[in-house]
Amino acid sequence: MKIKIFEKIDDLLEQLNNSRPLTQGELERLRDEFLIDFTYNSNAIEGNTLTLQETALIINEGITIAQKPLKDHLEVIGHKEAYFYIEELVKQKIPLSEKVIKDIHSIVLMDKPQDKGVYRRVPVRIMGAVHEPPQPYLVPVQIEQLILEYEEMKKTMHPIERVALFHLKFEGIRPFIDGNGRTGRLLLNLELMKERYPAINVKFADRRRYYDCITAYHESNGNPEAMVQMVATYVYETLERYLAILSM
């Protein structure tokens, strides 16, 4: 099943690459729409109270939404800037590193200057979770090990499979005191985009499934299948959407 969906995805990607190119205006329109959706959903998963429309107003117009926390506004701006940053990393073909991870987090967490880009110094527990993140002194070691493992994954795994597994492992470490989810989903898209796949938008409406995928990974002693399927489905649906737009 896993191999079949990868084959379908790669076939769609080839069709997209062989299709008529979009104009610069079309590309910018699609990118702007995605950025708003992605920012809204990724922030909403983490508790941001801004609506999709309010998120769009902040991104497009710089408007301040009355009676909404400054924190929520800064989370929108930080996420937008972090997405621009990963686009630049893709263009420059910058490899994944500890610096890249910390830089992305620093932009995401612009509302908390003391914590941005800094590994957590206290233990964390996730209420009701089967997995307990490592103690703070283990975080730098485990991040370094994860980056090395990720390079090894490239030798044997399909890109979507290894990106999904990397995401699970990163979220399991929870290296920062805050912003792990948003940073992790940006990293996921960074690595997908490097492989010429479209960025995906894990929807707020799918958050239960998303968390269930993370739980399933830890309950199964490291089987990433559920998350792989979720990421693959999102990539497949996004490719289908872009091909449909091109065929109009």
Catalogue all structural domains in the chain, each as residue range(s) with its CATH number: 2-246 (1.10.3290.10)
What is the CA angle 82-57-47, rounded to 5? 60
> Could you list the pLDDT tens digit for every one of the 248 residues in the chain?
567 899 999 999 999 988 878 788 888 999 999 999 999 999 999 999 999 999 999 999 999 999 999 999 999 999 999 999 999 999 999 999 999 999 999 999 999 999 999 999 999 987 767 789 999 999 999 999 999 999 999 999 999 999 999 999 999 999 999 999 999 999 999 999 999 999 999 999 999 999 999 999 999 999 999 999 999 999 999 999 999 988 77
CA distances from 201 to 55, 60, 133, 136, 185 (A): 15, 19, 25, 30, 9
Report the interhelical angle of 70-92 vs 180-194 (nearest 10°).
Answer: 20
158: its two tokens: 């399909």
Residue 232: half-sphere exposure toward Cβ, Cα within 13 Å: 23
Helix, strand and coil in the chain, % to nearest 5 = 70, 0, 30
CA distances from 130 to 105, 179, 209, 215, 226 (A): 25, 20, 16, 7, 16
103: its two tokens: 């830089």
Q: If you count DSSP H runs as helices and E runs as strands, how many of each does the chain have, helices first?
A: 10, 0
Position 26 scores a pLDDT of: 85
